[in-house]
């Protein structure tokens, strides 16, 4: 597998960063994750805009314009012979003389085969736990996932699939996904504070005929919800059927998540067709 | 300059980690910082104990026992011909196949010349700002300093030297230092929650004749303090003469910080002599 690192394509096993890089010494960097589906970079404009926003928030200069970035993404996919893949584009704080000051950012793109069912009939059902936490600089897609990685053992121990963060101000997000709650009246809500604004979340907010209210959501509302679901680029929509061991609704994926998944798939197909 | 990386000594410029390392992809890793003074590794037992505690908290296995670690630290200092240095020992989440699961940890030791005044007459005076924040897993010395690095520009803009974190529960710590507050009655306090337990802080708590109370400290108490100071391995004790632009006490290092600095220097000299 080839990767792109600091201006050139090379074999993944040869791609290394100096140990003085601020990502290694201080966990300082940002990234974005793209899905390549049927040869199309899904919602690439949104991901690039977010990548630039994250970089700006962390005061890191992106060394290419969008046209150049898309060229790199496409060329890498061609070199690897992949039409369906997950792609991570990372920008770090760079080699730092004192492990504190930002250096010249290191830029890399890595790719993994990733094939997704093009037309699932309903959302996957998953179980979650909750954990009180808020990410540093949550509006930026930083590389700092130490809590998310660390919590994986607890998630496994409790036979769950993911973990929802909350604070006294309410729920926020999953380590890699956004959260949505449906109340007994069928109204849909999603938090807007202390979150990374997901691209799949953005797509859902655009779906006509299904208003989604962005507001604070308490843990109590989560417990009383008739449906809860999450969104992400790799998972699309997954229905949460259990929170901290308590069943949600009837314990099966609900109608709102099912409907929104079909609408999301429609939008995806439309996007891919328009780019072919 | 030589470094130690995964079982061997090599030139710093040749020391690289694969870009799949979990420190680069997810900011996942821990470290500790040692001061080598007059050829003696200051409080090495405390630093190694903390390194192991941090590693355990992050579920990372330290690949050497303490005897082996001390041998590596000493051999590296000899190779670099240094008797006075700062030494960073880092353990990362290792090369991860999916940028999520913990791999086989990467272990490295890097060294920089660092000469410290052996007998300063009084604490340096510094200015600080405050920022609402708590680190992930604050009891572990993780590499995640994205907030600390990010805040440096704000610190400079406001002509300050450092930044004190606080939450609704009170003040906690600086990105790399512990905090102490002296009230009008000369009583000394330091927070015990949401902090990394510093080795210099530990030394202060051991000084006979100067009781230090570990308890919650509000921002209001900081504003009304007669003295505030910080401790760290590289800074020992620094007096804070301004918080968010407001003068502390008479705007000069106070008697408690000055006395504790002398006691700390005594303890240091005693430790170094006992190891020579």
Cα→Cα distances B167→A142, B104, B173, B177, Å: 22, 35, 10, 17
Best of B10, B33, B143, B153 to disrupt the A interface (most A CBs within 10 Å) is: B143
Tell me the Ramachandran region of residue B245: left when phi exceeds 0, alpha when psi lies from -120 to 50, beta otherwise. left
User: Is A17's CB within 8 Å of B5's CB?
Assistant: no
Residue pLDDT, tens place only, A79-126: 999 999 999 999 999 998 888 889 999 999 999 999 999 899 999 999
- Strand pairing category for A2-5 and A162-167: unpaired
What pairs with residue A178 in β-bridges? A173, A231
Say how far apart CA A105 and CA B271 lie, in whole Å. 41
Residue numbers in B near A90 (CB within 8 A)? 19, 24-25
Residue numbers in A near B21 (CB within 8 A)? 17, 24
- Min CA distance, A17 vs chain B (Å)? 5
Of chain A residues 171-190, which have a CB less than 8 A from chain B?
none
Query: Is residue B240 scored above 90 in pLDDT?
Result: yes
pLDDT at B75: 98
Q: How many residues does chain A have?
A: 276
Nearest beta carbon to residue A17 from set B17, B29, B88: B17
CB pairs under 8 A between A and B: 144
Lowest mean pLDDT among A141-145, B96-100, B131-135: B96-100
Say how far apart CA A216 and CA B84 lie, in whole Å. 53
Residue A20: Cβ within 10 Å count = 21
> Does residue A103 sit at the B interface (CB-CB below 8 Å)?
no
Residue numbers in A near B24 (CB within 8 A)? 17, 21, 23-24, 29, 90, 92, 143
pLDDT at A163: 98
User: Is A59's CB within 8 Å of B146's CB?
Assistant: no
Residue pLDDT, tens place only, A182-198: 999 999 999 999 999 99
Cα→Cα distances B191→A254, B188, B213, B222, B230, Å: 47, 11, 8, 12, 12
User: Is B146's CB within 8 Å of A27's CB?
Assistant: yes
In percent, how much of chain B has pLDDT > 90?
96
- Min CA distance, A136 vs chain B (Å)? 7
pLDDT at A100: 87
pLDDT at A117: 93
Angle at A167 between CA A162 and CA A169, to 5 degrees: 130
pLDDT at B219: 96
Interface ipTM > 0.95: no
Question: Quick one: average pLDDT of B92-101?
Answer: 90
Query: Is residue B136 scored above 90 in pLDDT?
Result: no
Query: Is residue A4 scored above 90 in pLDDT?
Result: yes
Residue pLDDT, tens place only, A54-64: 999 999 999 99
Query: Is residue A47 scored above 90 in pLDDT?
Result: yes
Question: Quick one: average pLDDT of B249-266?
Answer: 96
Residue pLDDT, tens place only, A215-249: 999 999 999 999 999 999 999 999 999 999 999 99
pLDDT at B138: 93
| Nearby residues of B120 by Cβ (< 8 Å), 6 or more positions away | B236, B261, B265
Residue pLDDT, tens place only, B191-226: 999 999 999 999 999 999 999 999 999 999 999 999
Q: Of A178, A209, A175, whose CA–CA distance to A191 is shortest?
A: A178
Q: Which two tokens stand for residue A254?
A: 């609900």
Residue numbers in A near B100 (CB within 8 A)? 149, 152
Say how far apart CA B232 and CA B177 lie, in whole Å. 5
User: 3-class DSSP state for residue B223?
Assistant: helix
Annotate A183-209 with b (16+ C-beta within 10 A) or e (fewer): eeeeebbbbeebbbbbbbbebbeeeee
Residue B143 DSSP one-character state? S
User: Is B136's CB within 8 Å of A144's CB?
Assistant: yes
Q: Kind and range of the H or E element at B230? A: strand B227-232
pLDDT at B100: 87
Residue numbers in A near B12 (CB within 8 A)? 19-20
User: What is the DSSP secondary-structure string of B105-117?
Assistant: PPEEEEEEE----
Question: Quick one: average pLDDT of B101-127?
Answer: 95
Average pLDDT score over chain A:
96
CB A105 within 8 A of CB A61: yes
- Min CA distance, B53 vs chain A (Å)? 15
φ and ψ at residue A112, rounded to 5 degrees: -135, 140
Give me the domains of chain A, ranges plus CATH numbers: 2-113 (3.30.470.10), 124-271 (3.20.10.10)
Residue written as token pair 């060294």: B111
Question: Quick one: average pLDDT of A130-159?
Answer: 94
User: What is the DSSP secondary-structure string of A56-97?
Assistant: HHTT---SS-HHHHHHHHHHHHHHTT-SSEEEEEEEE--B-T
> Does residue B22 sit at the A interface (CB-CB below 8 Å)?
yes
Residue B184: Cβ within 10 Å count = 10
Best of B5, B20, B23 to disrupt the A interface (most A CBs within 10 Å) is: B23
pLDDT at A98: 85
């Amino acid at each position: 597998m080839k990767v792109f690192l600091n201006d050139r394509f090379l074999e993944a096993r040869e791609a290394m960063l100096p140990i003085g890089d601020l990502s290694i010494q201080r966990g300082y960097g940002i990234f974005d994750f793209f899905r390549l589906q049927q040869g199309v970079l899904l919602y690439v404009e949104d991901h690039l805009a977010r990548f630039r926003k994250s970089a700006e928030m962390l005061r890191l200069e992106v060394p290419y314009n969008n046209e150049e970035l898309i060229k790199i993404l496409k060329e890498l996919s061609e070199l690897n012979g992949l039409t369906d893949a997950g792609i991570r584009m990372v920008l770090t704080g760079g080699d730092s003389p004192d492990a504190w000051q930002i250096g010249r950012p290191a830029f890399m793109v890595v790719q993994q085969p990733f094939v997704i069912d093009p037309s699932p009939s309903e959302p996957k059902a998953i179980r979650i736990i909750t954990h009180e936490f808020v990410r540093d600089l949550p509006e930026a897609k930083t590389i700092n996932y130490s809590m998310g990685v660390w919590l994986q053992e607890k998630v496994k121990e409790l036979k769950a699939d993911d973990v929802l963060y909350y604070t006294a101000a309410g729920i926020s997000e999953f380590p890699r996904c956004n959260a949505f709650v449906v109340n007994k009246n069928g109204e849909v809500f999603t938090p807007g504070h202390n979150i990374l604004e997901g691209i799949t979340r953005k797509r859902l907010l655009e779906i006509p005929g299904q208003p989604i209210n962005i507001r604070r959501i308490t843990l109590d509302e989560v417990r009383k919800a008739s449906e809860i679901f999450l969104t992400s680029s790799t998972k699309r929509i997954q229905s949460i059927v259990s929170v901290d061991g308590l069943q949600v609704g009837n314990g099966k994926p609900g109608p709102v998540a099912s409907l929104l998944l079909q609408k999301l798939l429609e939008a995806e197909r439309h996007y891919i067709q328009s780019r072919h």
